[in-house]
Structure 1
Amino acid sequence: MPELPEVETVRRGLAPAMEGAVIARAELRRPDLRFPLPEGFAARVEGRRILGLKRRAKYLVIDLSDGAAILAHLGMSGSFRVEEPAVLTNALPGSSGDTPGLFYLPRGKDARHDHVVFHLEREGRILQVVYNDPRRFGFMDLAEGTALDAHPFFRSLGEEPTGNGLSPDYLAARFKGKGQPVKATLLDQRVIAGLGNIYVCEALWRAGIAPATAAGALVRGDGAPGARLVALNTAIHQVIAEAIEAGGSSLRDHIRTDGTLGYFQHRFSVYDREGEACPRPACTGTVARIAQGGRSTFFCPVCQT
């Protein structure tokens, strides 16, 4: 499943094509994705101008001119592509009927899996934004923009790992008294919104914290964050920022909206590197893998304590 940096790079890739455009037509080629599409979805979005694209956790939020917002989740294999209809001569410059770039695995080209097509118009120019999802684990919904925080998808989410709200003091308040492993606590979306398995492994390695460490052990007796929790907070911010800058990890079949791959997977220090030497200078350890909560955890048993 794409993680937060992947979703953020998708948002950035879609924004130039979608922001400011009017949805002339919403073409629904099936009534459902992972869940049924909202009743009257096409009629409710057609004719609305797209004011902006945002991201909350791993969700895309498409703000519309009537105050509503389209919520989209990519699931396991969902992707958007921007293209121009071949028959049109007034398409937006830079749009293409093909998806350029190299792929780790092919993605988003089989028209049988094009499930939702937004036909957009801006100043007489036309383009299409196509949602493709072979596995159909993604989904879309509609919500009132003023009530997003109360939406079932969002109301229990914790702080974003990209914002100032994620701080050592915030983590200390959420970790205090927890005997749960820190790895599981970090994956709890009620604690940090959008932080996934890959970047939790990387952040714990950077901070030198063993994934099985009890979350509460990182908090001092007076409730203040310990030095290791401060280091972990910094590591989370850094690893997410670097992944976004690099364009996302692009594991398996994830691509950016322009069809190119991100390359942060080449910078992974421990994730998916079982049996390799720990890259920390002077560390003699070997990267190991254990299962936690049904997910693989990669770490160095020597320098992560």
Structure 2
Amino acid sequence: MPELPEVETIRRTLAQHVNGLKIKEVKLVWSSAVISWEDQPFEVLVADRQIQRIDRRGKYLLIRLDNDLTLIAHMRMTGRLNYYTEKQPPDKHTHVVFCLDKGEVHFSDVRKFGRIQAIPTSRSISDSSLGKLGPEPLELEFTPQVLKERFGKKKVSVKAALLDQHVLAGLGNIYVDESLFQARISPNRTVDSLTEEELAELHQAIRNVLQAGIDAQGTSFRDYRDANGEKGSFERALQVYGRGGEPCKVCGQKLERVRLAGRTTVYCSQCQK
């Protein structure tokens, strides 16, 4: 599932091609992939609008169009937005084609969980799930004190808390496991047991790991690609995620693989206390 670094990479690579272009036509191959506004046909509502810029909020892409319209794209498990310089036949997993005045953008999704929602820009926060998201972990306003406040007095595991998008936006299984390893904190710990020092270390680890993920243009195990169809390379730097049963790169101990918060979790019981 694309997490913050992957979605940010898609935003950057897509914006390079489409900012300032006009959507001439929308072709719906699978109509359930889109959600329109007030019963207006999606393809009619979106056509003839100019792409002004592309923003990101957590794991969501926000494609800002003129005349107060935003497209909120959520990739879910296997969604992709690919740009093509010329007309391209849709493949079997392509659900929406945005025909631009220069090239095309295809939204494809093997698992069919991803969605693109059209909503007035002025209501994109109040009338969508964006309004419930926690703070952005790479913004200056996100401090160790903010992390502590977002955790509150919860008795849940730190793994579960960090996966909760209402607590912090953008983190998923990959970057939570990696952040906890870098902070040397066991994913089994409850958030109310973390000391001030541990919170500060976790805060810094989250920022470090996410920035490293962005610098590597994301993690491409299976489906993720950027808007140019290119893979990321962060999987080469992974310390624990996907490595259950293998030796820890720091201490050599066999990495533990457990189920936490409904997700497979990998950690080192020697390094992470």
TMscore range, shorter length: over 0.9
Q: Do structure 1's residue 73 and structure 2's residue 49 form an aligned pair?
A: no
User: Is the deviation greater in 172-181 or in 48-57?
Assistant: 172-181
- Deviation digits for residues 150-199 of structure 1 (CA, Å, limit 9, x no counterpart): 13211110011221232100111122322111111111111101110110
Shift of 1:284: 4.6
Letter in 2 for 1:16: Q
Select the structure of larger CA radius of gyration. Answer: 1
Instruction: Judge conservation of contact 1:284–1:302 (CA < 8 Å) in 2.
Output: no
Q: 1:114 aligns with which of 94, 98, 112?
A: 94
> Contact 2:90 / 2:106 at 8 angstroms: preserved in 1?
no
Q: How high is the TM-score relative to the length of structure 2?
A: 0.94
Give the residue type in structure 1 aligned to 2:254.
T
SS in 2 for 1:252: coil
What is the percent sequence identity of the aligned residues? 37
Residue in structure 1 matched with residue 130 of structure 2 by the alignment? 154
Question: Aligned in 2, Cα 1:298/1:110: closer, same or farther, shift over 3 Å?
Answer: farther
Please say if residues 182 and 212 of structure 1, whose CA atoms lie closer than 8 Å, have aligned partners that are also in contact.
yes
Residue 189 of structure 2: aligned partner: 213
Alpha-carbon displacement from aligned partner over 1:26-58 (angstroms, at most 9, x marks no partner): 11123212x655531111111111100011111
Match runs of 1:28-39 below 5 Å: 28-33=28-33, 36-38=35-37, 39=40
Structure 1 segments unaligned to the other structure (5+ residues): 87-96, 98-108, 220-225
Q: CA deviation at 1:258?
A: 1.6
Aligned length: 271
Which residue of the other structure, out of 139, 144, 150, is the alignment partner of 1:174? 150
CA distance in 2, matches of 1:181, 1:134: 32
Tell me which residue corresponds to 1:229: 199
Change (3 A) 1:25 1:284: closer
Q: What is the alpha-carbon distance in structure 1 between the residues aligned to residue 10 and residue 113 of structure 2?
A: 17
Q: Is the 8 A contact 1:37 1:139 kept in 2?
A: no
- Pairing 1:144–2:145 present: no
Question: For 1:277 and 1:81, how far apart are their aligned partners in 2?
Answer: 37
Partner Cα distance (1:110, 1:48) in 2? 22
In structure 2, C-alpha distance between the alignment counterparts of 1:120 and 1:270, rounded to whole Å: 42
Q: Which amino acid is the alignment partner of residue 139 of structure 2?
A: G
Note if 1:192 corresponds to 2:168. Answer: yes
Per-residue deviation, residues 7-32 of structure 1 (Å, max 9, x unmatched): 11111111011100011111112321
Partner-residue secondary structure (3-state), 2:118: strand
SS of residue in 2 equivalent to 1:16: helix
- Deviation track 1:188-231 (CA, whole Å, cap 9, x = no partner) reads 11110111011000000111101111101114xxxxxx101100
Partner of 2:270: 302
1:266 aligns with 2:242: no
Structure 2: stretches of 5+ with no match in the other structure? none
TM-score if structure 1 supplies the norm length? Answer: 0.84
